[in-house]
Amino acid sequence: MRKVLLVLFVLVIALSLTVSALAAPKVTLRVAWWGNPTRDARTQKVIEMYMAKNPNVTIETETTGWAGYWDKLATQAAANNLPDVIQQDYAYITQYAQKNLLLDLTPAIKSKKIDLTGVSENYLSGGKVKRKYYGINLGTNAWCIVYDPAVLKKAGVAPPSPDWTWADFEALATEIYKKTGVQTMPYSTVEPRVLFQNMLRQTGKPFFGADVTKLGFNDTKVLIQFYESQLRLLKSGVLIKPETAFVTTTPQESPFAKGQSWLEFVWSNQVVAFQAAANRPVALALCPKIANSKRPGTFFKPSMFFSVTRSSANKEEAIKFINYFMNDIEANKVLLAERGIPVVPKVREVLQDMVDPVNKQVFEYISMVGKGHVSPIDPPDPPGAGEVLKAFRNIDQEVLYGTISPKDAAKKFLKQGNEILAKNKNAK
């Protein structure tokens, strides 16, 4: 008798689900992202899981590499044919929001249709344009120092603390060189702006001005410190010479991988690549503090967003899909933080126990940064930023090659940077 009742119960449940599915209106969503084979496979799997749970929904996917993605979106936008859900980047979200192509997701967040319970505003603010949320952060990064703990142990020095200063940094680098002969990389050779920006933000100033026509600072004091600190280490033999440091292009080619430098300055999502290149244990540290620091210079940078387009005919389903992508534990076990460290605490806690030891270090670093070592992200870079950053890198090298003094270099950069950004006046 019990078996008969059980069979009847299962039949009733199955029938009710079938009726429910038949009753729900058919919906077709288009979801687009730029990716790679790993991301594509994991995202496709999660989409299949979502469709299994929502049999009335069909999701059509559109994925390309980064290079062709934005050209395709621009063409679709011109034809009013954007997908319902699009992956967005920090460099483009303001442009798309200002063109009225994206849906304001603030009401969906407030109503918890996209449930971001417990998520710090520091993780979310990158998706905000003029106080409205147009993108949901799919993963986060933070600037860090990756270093070789074995070198520090050999030198007999203690690991850096979260409150260490640039004076501590120079002393540590010097002691390591004296005891081991291992040198120090110049400050962020691929994009020196990022490390200087960390120092500058500690004064409360941004690198770029809010009105996009000029730099965000005019006091050269911190920039001169940035140059002089490197020169002191270079002249004492501690710093790797610029003709070596600025020519490396891959983690495998880096002095850190070769054991010539005890550290490298990287984004947290690059740690795995540098550890693999070095093929030895690594540790992570915050960037040092400047004297009289007013706030943390580190910020959380969204790796990418999901946005809903205003032209979507299925906005509610698009919002529901994003909520699933953000919050479903089983879905995130498939995604496995490939887009960066998840911002939803319950998801982050589960994945932290699943990932390999190096990725676990990254999870722990992001968690540590979130506990009082972060300040809000600055607005997206303005038009002309690429030219400004190139000038910054060139002038940094001129200082290290000894062809210009730190004071003259700082004046030169302020003049060049402001001249480049002044071109934006005509575009306003």
Any idea what the CATH number is for the domain that residue 91 is in? 3.40.190.10
Q: What is the pLDDT of residue 391?
A: 96
* Mean per-residue pLDDT, 173-188: 97
* Residues 336, 396 share a domain: no
Q: Is the pLDDT of residue 397 over 80?
A: yes
95 within domain boundaries: yes
18 within domain boundaries: no
Secondary structure (3-state) at 170 = helix
Q: Answer whether 168's CB lies under 8 Å from 292's CB.
A: no
| Exposure string for 380-408, b = 16+ CB within 10 A, e = fewer | bbbebbeebbebbbebbbbbbeeebebee
* Mean per-residue pLDDT, 113-129: 92
Q: Is the pLDDT of residue 6 over 80?
A: no
* Residues 309, 289 share a domain: no
* Residues 232, 198 share a domain: yes
Higher local confidence (pLDDT), 4 or 209: 209
Q: What is the pLDDT of residue 191?
A: 87
**Cα separation of 318 and 307, whole Å?**
9
Q: Is the pLDDT of residue 352 over 80?
A: yes
Tens digits of residue pLDDT in 272-295: 889 999 999 999 999 999 999 999
Q: Is the pLDDT of residue 367 over 70?
A: yes
* Residues 125, 50 share a domain: yes
Q: Which stretches of 237-377 are DSSP H helices?
A: 242-245, 271-278, 315-327, 329-335, 345-352, 357-369
Q: Is the pLDDT of residue 316 over 60?
A: yes
* Mean per-residue pLDDT, 188-196: 92
11 within domain boundaries: no
* Residues 199, 135 share a domain: no
Number of folded domains that form the chain: 2
Average predicted confidence (pLDDT) for the chain = 92
**Cα separation of 352 and 15, whole Å?**
39
Q: What is the pLDDT of residue 381?
A: 83
Burial class (CB in 10 A: 0-12, 13-18, 19+), 277: middle
Residues 6+ apart with CB under 8 A from 355: 336, 337, 363
Q: Comparing C-alpha atoms, which of 356, 190, 173, 172 is closest to residue 282?
A: 356
Q: Is the pLDDT of residue 4 over 70?
A: no
Q: What is the pLDDT of residue 273?
A: 84
**Percentage of residues in the chain having pLDDT higher than 90:** 75
16 within domain boundaries: no
| Exposure string for 190-222, b = 16+ CB within 10 A, e = fewer | eebbbbbbbbbbbbebbbbbeebbbbbbeebeb
Domain coverage including residue 186: 142-299+378-426
220 within domain boundaries: yes
* Residues 322, 283 share a domain: no
Q: What is the pLDDT of residue 11?
A: 54
| Cα 275 to Cα 129, 145, 155, 205, 368, distances in angstroms | 36, 12, 21, 33, 20
134 within domain boundaries: yes
Q: What is the pLDDT of residue 379?
A: 84
* Residues 266, 192 share a domain: yes
* Mean per-residue pLDDT, 336-362: 91
Q: What is the pLDDT of residue 344?
A: 96
Q: Comparing C-alpha atoms, which of 5, 60, 426, 421 is closest to residue 213?
A: 421
**Cα separation of 238 and 175, whole Å?**
9
